[in-house]
Amino acid sequence: MRNKSSILKILLLLYLMISVNFTVVSQNETYKIALLKYNGGGDWYANPTSLPNLIEFCNTNLGTSIFKQPSTVEPGSSDIFNYPFIHMTGHGNVIFSDFEASNLRSYLISGGFLHIDDNYGMDQYIRRELKKVFPDTELIELAFSHPIYHQKYEFPQGLPKIHEHDNNSPQGYGIIYQGRLVVFYSFETDLGDGWEDEAVHNDSYEVRLKALKMGANIINYAFEN
């Protein structure tokens, strides 16, 4: 009996060691996120310092392990499935081909997440193109109680206002597929400008911090869902 008890203890110890090892590997896994390069003439490449700064903020404050430099991916590429989080921004026109729209839909319904940040001027175009991706689903404004506003950082009034633009209140819209938020569209806020280096827009530290915290909430929500 004594030998049997000893063997059980050894097996239990080995199991615990293996379990801890798997946990450490999972926590230290490195992810890559990407910027969406779309057609239509809009400046998909706007705010070049924004994503690297957001990544650094998330790695420091959320404990994520995101590769420091974001990748660039096109909506029709099979590479899009390598990224759990895709960011999209710009000021102008956006065009998705039928194939790109279908591929983007497949990416989103299979677990991907798209954050669209209107850099002022893309609203009418992105709304039109999203209908190609989800023709039977409408963009809806998310309630302030939605979990995306209540991750590590609390935003009880929804999106923070970063840049004035039309001086309207910021709005957060989403596309929900089978109960999961797959697209988050930040409008009248310009989070990406707030993520940029301070010298680019001369935003105050407080304004930039609000933008980074909201961005961290978006990434945290996307990774956990």
DSSP 123-139: HHHHHHHHHHHSTT---
**Does pLDDT of 146 surpass 70?**
yes
What pLDDT is stored for residue 15 in this prediction? 38
> Is the pLDDT confidence value at 2 over 50?
no
- The Cα 48–Cα 198 span in angstroms is 13
As a whole number of angstroms, the distance between CA 68 and CA 89 comes to 19
Residue with the bigger pLDDT between 16 and 149: it is: 149
- The more confident residue out of 25 and 67 is 67
DSSP string, 57-95: HHHHHT---B-SS-EEE-TT-GGGGG-S-EEEEESS--B
pLDDT of 22 higher than 70:
no
- What's the confidence (pLDDT) of residue 17? 37
- Give the alpha-carbon dihedral of 143, 145, 147, 152, to 10 degrees: 130
- Measured CA to CA, the distance from residue 11 to residue 177 in angstroms comes to 44
- Please write the tens of the pLDDT for every residue from 38-53: 999 999 999 999 999 9
**pTM assigned to the model:** 0.86
The string of pLDDT tens digits covering residues 104-131 is 999 999 999 999 999 999 999 999 999 9
How confident is the prediction for the chain on average, in pLDDT?
89
| Pair 71, 19: CB distance under 8 Å | no
CA–CA distance, 116 with 86 (Å, rounded to integer): 8
pLDDT at 28: 47
Predicted confidence at residue 225, as pLDDT, reads 87
Instruction: Give the contacts of 89 (CB within 8 A, at least 6 positions apart).
Output: 35, 44, 46, 47, 50, 116, 117, 118, 119, 122, 192
**Beta-carbon count within 10 A of 216 CB:** 22
DSSP-derived pairing of the beta strands 34-36 and 71-73:
parallel
Average pLDDT over residues 64-84: 97
Q: What is the pLDDT of residues 179-216, one digit of tens each?
A: 999 999 999 999 999 999 988 888 899 999 999 999 99
Q: How confident is the model at residue 29 (pLDDT cuts 50, 70, 90)?
A: low
